[in-house]
Amino acid sequence: MSGPRRLAILLLAAATLLGFAPGSASAADSHRVANIAHRGSGAMAPENTLASVRLALQQGADYIENDIMRTSDGALVIMHDLTLARTTNVEQVFPDRAPWNTKDFTLAEIKQLDAGSWFSASYAGQRVPTLREWVEAVGSRAGMLLEAKDPWAFPGIELDIDKELRSIPAFGKALASGRVIMQAGDEPWLRSYHDLAPDVPVGLLYYTRPTDEQLVSASTWLDSVHPALGNIDQGIVDRAHALGLDIHVWTVNFGGDMSRGIAWGVDGIITDYPSVLRDILRKG
């Protein structure tokens, strides 16, 4: 068993146990919390692969989150890191192409890479999906939390993302049913995307505790705010709701923390363990 796989199973066991800690939310509180799978079921399958999407769907995720980048020939792919080195075998396939930046490879080159073996031999042969492949895999079975990752590295990517998404029927259906959110941690970029696609709900990632001034500003154009759970408290949740904002928190991997977010009334929890969150929400 690989290191990442072993660690995932150990964390899953610990998270489940912590889910029964005192202070768990009631069923009345928990039913409305969205279970958002981070990069798919990112702790139990290789992140941002179709296998990770399929597992998250099996585990009851309400939304699947991803990361979007662009290849050298303009294709949109699902990849978290600026470099391909961590989650593929690019160093073996293209040893002379360091530092193996995603943007320096064509789609055909990226499709040669194994994006599963780093996680577990059982996932050998998984490929880096395109945005279209990812959207079609999610389909109507869950919502889509789409993230433009490091958009500063891909000038004009908002135009590419909008054009590609509009050409995919599954995206149109998801948008019409209110099951799409575009998020980013780059506020200027997200404003540009919002201007381009005002019908797509948008959420801003926060890496520090959002101030009241930031929340008030957010309420003038955002649909949701996405801070880390550890940077907020009940007051932030209440203030966001008072301003008409949804609040989705990341990345919450232990049951006790999930229960705390549920008790505060957050609208969504982004987690690498959607099966743990599913069980906690069911137990109420």
Instruction: Give the C-alpha separation, 46 to 117, whole Å.
Output: 8
* Ramachandran class of 48: left when φ > 0, alpha when ψ lies in -120 to 50, beta otherwise: left
Q: Which residue has the tokens 């919002």?
A: 194
Q: For residue 135, what are its two tokens? A: 């959207």
- Which of 31, 38, 194, 241 is catalytic? The answer is 38
Q: What Rg value do the Cα atoms of the chain yield, rounded?
A: 18
- Which of 31, 80, 226, 248 is catalytic? The answer is 80
Q: Is 248 a catalytic residue?
A: no
Q: Is 31 a catalytic residue?
A: no
Which among 264, 192, 266 has a CA at the least distance from the CA of 226?
Answer: 266
Please give the DSSP secondary-structure letter assigned to residue 104.
G
Instruction: Give the C-alpha separation, 216 to 208, whole Å.
Output: 16
Q: For residue 225, what are its two tokens? A: 């705010």
Instruction: Give the C-alpha separation, 233 to 219, whole Å.
Output: 18
**How wide is the angle at C-alpha 277 spanned by C-alphas 276 and 278, nearest 5°?**
90
Helices (H), the chain: 3-18, 27-30, 50-58, 90-93, 107-110, 131-138, 157-166, 169-176, 187-196, 212-218, 234-242, 255-264, 274-283
Would you please indicate which residues are annotated as catalytic (active-site) residues?
38, 80
